[in-house]
Structure 1
C-alpha cells in the first residue's frame, strides 16, 4: 500500500521551531510482519490539543507510546521538546515533562485505593513536595468535581469518574505534554463532554499541549488539528472543519419516511453510489461526481420517484474518512444483500414489551417502573449514561434476572415464565464475549449451531447464509483472532442469528470497529429489520449510531425519561432549549467560562469553538460579541442538533432538578 499524506492549511507545517513539543518524521514500527506505523510524520504546536483519529489497529497507540518514550521506533526521527529521542537515555531526559494516560477505564489507577490515595501515590512517584501536592490535589479535585468523593475506592467509580481521576493523576506533576490514549472510550456522552470541558480548561490555564487518540469521529471538533490514521498511515492532517471537504465529490441528502421505500432506495441506489446510509428519515449519499450530476442521476432512478429531489449538504468527518479510503485504496463495504430464501421467522405486533419493570438491589432501585414497546421489525435504541439501568433491563427481558416487579414479553413469550422459550426466540450479542478467537470462522459457526440444537444440515444451510451476509466467504477458514474487528463483529452477529431468532439484543456491538466496518455492520442491521422483520434492541455510546434507530428510549437513574424517534427528540429539545449556536474565532475556553457566568449554562468548549443553546439568536449574538476581545474575528453560525446534544441536554436538566443519594449511588450499578 502506497504511503499517502495530505496536508492542509493549518495542518502539517513545513518548518517548526525547536520549541515544538513534538516533531516526528517518517516513524516506522513493526510487530513481526505487521506494520503498526508506516512512515508517520507529525508535529505539535505549544498549547494545542492534537487528535489522532482512527479505528483499532490504525497505529494510534503505538505512536503515542513512542512519543511517551515507553516504546522505541524502528526507524524515523523523533524530537520531543528539542531533544532527539534515539535511545532510552534520551527518552528519560524528557519524561518529567510528559504525562501519559493509557487506554482503558482506570488502567493507570489502583482499584482498592481511594481517589485521594491514588493521587497521593502518583504524587509520591513524581517526588512532589507534600505542601505542593496538597495544593495541586485540592485544585484538581475541585476542577473535576471529585472533591466530595475523596474517600471512595476507585473500583466503585463510574466510567466517567475513573477517567477524570486518571486525568488528575496524569496532570498532578504539571507536565508540559499530556498523552491520552482513547480517554473517553466506554464513557457515556455526558461524562465525555464534561471530561473534554475540564481538559480544555486545565490545559488553557497551565499552557499544556495535549496529544489525544480517539475512535470517535465526532470528537474531532474538540481538537485544534487532527490526523486521520488507517493501517499505520496518516491519510490526512489538518483543521477538522477543512478536512471534511477533502475528499472529491459531494454529499447528498434525501428525505424518505417509508421504511420499505428506504429499502428500495438502498437496493437500487447503492450499486451506483456505494457510500450510502439511512439515518432515521434521511438517506445520506456520498457521490464521487459533482452534486448537480448526482442529483440528476438519482432523479432518474425508479426508487427515488415520488420523493423530493436530493439536496446537497455538508459531509461529516466520518463521511470524508470513508470516502478517502474508497478513493485512495479502493476500500468498500461488502454486498450485504440478505437472500429471501433464508427468511428469519418473525412475529406480528409488538416484539418486545416492558410494563412497569422494576429491579431492586437492597434499598437501591436499579430499574424503576420502566415501560416501552418495540414493534416487530423496528430498530430500537436503549440509551443512557453509565449506571442508568440499561443492562439490568436487558437481563430481565432475556430471562437472566428476575424482576422485582412488573412484567415483560419478548417474541410473544412471558419473560417470567417462558425461560428456555425466550432464549430460543432471541439472539444476543454481548460486548465483552461472543466468539472463540482460537477457532476458525466456520468452527465458531458450527459451535453456535450445536449450542442452539441445529441439525448438521441446518448448520450447513445457515453457514452459507452467515458467510454471505457478513461478507466472510474469503475468510471461512481463517482464525477468528486474525480478523479485523469489523469482520469479527459481523461474524458474532451471524452466530447470534444462526437459529433464526425474531428478536436481536445487541450490547455496544461496534465498540472498537473502524468507520467502514461500522457502516457495513449497520447496513446489515438495516436490511435485517426491513427485509427480515427482525426486531433489534441496541445499546451504544456512539451517539451518531443512535441516528440509525427508528425509536429511542433514554434512561436516567433507572427510569425512562424520553421515548420518541431521534427526529422528534431533537425537535423537543430545540423547542425547550432554543437554537444551538457555534462560535468560532474566540479564545474558546475563556469565552465558555464568561458565557456560563452570564447565564448561558449550556456553553461548552469544542476545541477552538464554543457551542451554546440560546432562546433568542440575535440578542444572544450581541451579548456574545460584547464579551469577546476587540481583536478577535468572531464567526457565529447556527448548528444542527446531534443526538449527543439531545442526550446531554436531557440528562443535564435532570441532574440539575434533583441529586438524590440513590442517583449518586447509580455510578456503580451498570456492572450489576
Structure 2
C-alpha cells in the first residue's frame, strides 16, 4: 500500500504510561497501515490499547516513540491540522443534554467552523439519515440511548471529514439501533468515499468492515479481511444439540472446561457452537453423553477467539464446587422467586410499562430485552425496589414490595450498568465496605470475602484501587460485592456492555454456576446472543410486552428453528411496530 493509499500509517509505535514501579506499555511497537476510503475495524479485549491508538491518531496525545502519520501528516508536528480534517467520536461523546437536537448540531457546527449557509443542506441530510428530523426540538437528555448515539454521530459529521474515528460507537445500543447506525456508516463510505476507522466490541460489526486489525496488549495479533480471520478456524468449528431438557449454557460450560480439546464454546441458534483444538478431534464430554457434533461454518469471532486464546492461554478455571453445582443443578425449580401481576408505571401522562405480568422461578436466568427506551430499565428498577410501581402487584423472594421494600432488598444483589464501585478504594476495601453495608457480622464478613475473592479470581488484585482495574476485573469485583451477602436474587443491568468475547465467556461461566446453585438471575443486555443463556426472556417495546418464553419456544412460534437472536429480536420488534397493535404474545405472558 502506497503512502497516498493510506489514511493512517504507524511504524514501531510505542506509548507507555507511568505507573507505580515502572511503565505500562499501552501500545508496544505497533505497525499498521489503514487504507483510504474504506471501513476498517480494530478489535481486541479490554485493555488492548484501542482507545490509546484512537487518541494518538486524533492528535490528542503524543507517542513515546515510533512514528504515526495521519492523512500524510505527522501526528505530533501537524496535530492541529489533523484535527481540522478529521472527526472523532469517543466512547463518551459530549452531548449537551439540556440543549435540543438542533442546538447540539449548531453548537458543534460552530466549534468546527461550518459556514452558516452550508448548514441547512448538511443538517437536513444528517437528520434524515439518522431518523431525527422529527426530533429537532427535543432535548438531548430526553432521547433514548440509540437516538443519543445517532445524534452524537450527526454532531461528529456536521462537516464532511477526511477521516472519521469512532471508539465503540454502539456500546449499550440495542440491535435495531446498531443496524441503523451501521447502515448509515456504510452509506457515508459509499456516497462520500469517507475513510472510517472504528473500534468495536461486537464481532458481527467487524464482519461488516473491509479490513480488521486484532489488537492485544498493544500488539497486532493479526489483520486481514473478515474472511481471512474466519479462515483461521476453518475445519475446526462444530455445532451440537444438548440432550433434551439441558440448557445450552450447561453444555457450553462443560465444553469450556475441557481446555485440552476445546478452544471456545458459545450457545447459538439453540445449539452450542464450538472450536476444537484440532479438526476431527474426539471431545470426551460429548462422547460420554452420546452427543454427536456436526461441522459448522466459522465466523470472524472464531478466528478472534483462536488468536486470543493463543495469546492468553489462561482462562477462568471452574472450581470443584462449581463442577458439582453443574452436575447436580442446571434447571430452575418450581419455586417462584418473583411474581409480577398487571404491573403499570406512569410518569405523568407517559406510560413507561403497561399492564405487564410474568413469574420468575428459583435458579432461573430471566432476560429483560428491548430497544432503547422500551421500558425494560423501568421494569428492572421496579423489580429491584428502586422505583415504586403506579399500580399492580409485585413480590420479590416472597415479599410484597409495596409493603416491605427494605426487607425485600435484603434478598437482592445488584450490579449496575456503570459499576457502582468506589474507585479510590482498593479491591479489599470495597469488599469490606459492601460486607458491612449488608450487615454481615465481622467473622462472617471475613469468611465471605475469602470465598468471593477465590470464586472471582481476585487474589492478585486485592491491594489495587478499583478505578485502576481493567474492565473485566471491575466486573468481577462488582459481582463479588453484589454476592457477598449471598442474596437469593441477583439483578444484572447490562453487565457485559463493552467487554470482549473472552471476558463474556468467563462471566457467563460464573452466572451458569450461580444459577445451578439456586440463585435467581434477572439480566438486561444488548448482546442479543446472550438471550441464549436465559431459561426464558421477555422483549418489551413502548412499554408493551411483545414476547416471552424460552429461546426454543420463541423460535418455534416464529418458525425460525436456528435463527440468531439478533434476527429474532429485530423481527419481533419490527413486526410489532408495523402492526401498531398489541402483540398476540401478550396473551401468554402470565404465570
For normalisation by structure 1, the TM-score amounts to: 0.79
Residue number in structure 2 paired with 1:5:
none
Residue number in structure 1 paired with 2:553:
568
Cα distance in structure 2, aligned partners of 1:371 and 1:574: 25
| Shift of residue 351, structure 1, vs aligned partner | 1.7
Given candidates 499, 512, 534, the residue that maps to 1:549 is 534
Cα distance in structure 2, aligned partners of 1:456 and 1:125: 56
Confirm or deny: 8 A CA contact 1:51 1:211 kept in the other structure.
yes
Confirm or deny: 8 A CA contact 1:25 1:41 kept in the other structure.
yes
Residue number in structure 2 paired with 1:207:
193
Cα distance in structure 1, aligned partners of 2:79 and 2:172: 31
Residue number in structure 2 paired with 1:61:
51
Confirm or deny: 8 A CA contact 1:182 1:215 kept in the other structure.
yes
Aligned length: 570
Given candidates 364, 367, 380, the residue that maps to 1:381 is 367
Confirm or deny: 8 A CA contact 1:65 1:71 kept in the other structure.
yes
| Shift of residue 185, structure 1, vs aligned partner | 1.2
Cα distance in structure 2, aligned partners of 1:454 and 1:348: 30
User: CA offsets per residue over residues 635-661 of structure 1, 9 Å max, x none?
Assistant: xxxxx632111112222222333399x
Cα distance in structure 2, aligned partners of 1:28 and 1:412: 57
Given candidates 272, 288, 293, the residue that maps to 2:277 is 288
For 1:593-604, what aligned pairs fall within 5 Å after superposition? none
For 1:370-409, what aligned pairs fall within 5 Å after superposition? 370-409=356-395
Residue number in structure 2 paired with 1:47:
37
Residue number in structure 1 paired with 2:79:
91
Pair 1:317 & 2:300 matched: yes
User: CA offsets per residue over residues 414-473 of structure 1, 9 Å max, x none?
Assistant: 222232221122211112243222333333222222222222221232223212211222
Residue number in structure 2 paired with 1:627:
none
Residue number in structure 1 paired with 2:159:
173
Residue number in structure 1 paired with 2:586:
none
| Shift of residue 299, structure 1, vs aligned partner | 5.0
Pair 1:123 & 2:106 matched: no
Pair 1:258 & 2:254 matched: no
For 1:341-360, what aligned pairs fall within 5 Å after superposition? 348-360=334-346
User: CA offsets per residue over residues 479-524 of structure 1, 9 Å max, x none?
Assistant: 3333322222122212211222221111111223332221111001
Cα distance in structure 2, aligned partners of 1:362 and 1:330: 54
Residue number in structure 1 paired with 2:589:
none
Confirm or deny: 8 A CA contact 2:234 2:297 kept in the other structure.
no
Pair 1:78 & 2:68 matched: yes
Confirm or deny: 8 A CA contact 1:158 1:386 kept in the other structure.
yes
Cα distance in structure 2, aligned partners of 1:100 and 1:150: 22
Residue number in structure 2 paired with 1:410:
396
For normalisation by structure 2, the TM-score amounts to: 0.89
For 1:104-183, what aligned pairs fall within 5 Å after superposition? 104=92, 107-183=93-169
**Structure 2: where are the runs of 5+ without partners?**
583-591
User: CA offsets per residue over residues 593-648 of structure 1, 9 Å max, x none?
Assistant: xxxxxxxxxxxxxxxxxxxxxxxxxxxxxxxxxxxxxxxxxxxxxxx632111112
> CA 1:64/1:474 → structure 2, altered by over 3 Å: closer, same or farther?
closer
Cα distance in structure 1, aligned partners of 2:440 and 2:128: 58
User: CA offsets per residue over residues 319-371 of structure 1, 9 Å max, x none?
Assistant: 33232222234232233553679x99x98511222111001111111110111
Confirm or deny: 8 A CA contact 1:26 1:39 kept in the other structure.
yes
> CA 1:513/1:284 → structure 2, altered by over 3 Å: closer, same or farther?
same
| Shift of residue 274, structure 1, vs aligned partner | 5.6
> CA 1:371/1:337 → structure 2, altered by over 3 Å: closer, same or farther?
farther
Given candidates 91, 102, 107, the residue that maps to 2:90 is 102
Residue number in structure 2 paired with 1:604:
none
Confirm or deny: 8 A CA contact 1:276 1:283 kept in the other structure.
no
Pair 1:642 & 2:561 matched: no
Residue number in structure 1 paired with 2:525:
540
Confirm or deny: 8 A CA contact 2:164 2:197 kept in the other structure.
yes
| Shift of residue 86, structure 1, vs aligned partner | 5.3
Q: Give the match's secondary structure for 1:62.
A: helix
Confirm or deny: 8 A CA contact 1:19 1:82 kept in the other structure.
no
| Shift of residue 268, structure 1, vs aligned partner | 8.0
Q: Give the match's secondary structure for 1:444.
A: helix
Confirm or deny: 8 A CA contact 1:552 1:566 kept in the other structure.
yes
Q: Give the match's secondary structure for 2:108.
A: helix
Pair 1:525 & 2:511 matched: yes
Confirm or deny: 8 A CA contact 1:51 1:227 kept in the other structure.
yes
Confirm or deny: 8 A CA contact 1:347 1:411 kept in the other structure.
no
| Shift of residue 74, structure 1, vs aligned partner | 1.9
> CA 1:424/1:109 → structure 2, altered by over 3 Å: closer, same or farther?
closer
Confirm or deny: 8 A CA contact 2:145 2:373 kept in the other structure.
no
User: CA offsets per residue over residues 558-616 of structure 1, 9 Å max, x none?
Assistant: 121011222333444455xxx9xxxxxxxxxxxxxxxxxxxxxxxxxxxxxxxxxxxxx
> CA 1:358/1:515 → structure 2, altered by over 3 Å: closer, same or farther?
same
| Shift of residue 216, structure 1, vs aligned partner | 1.9
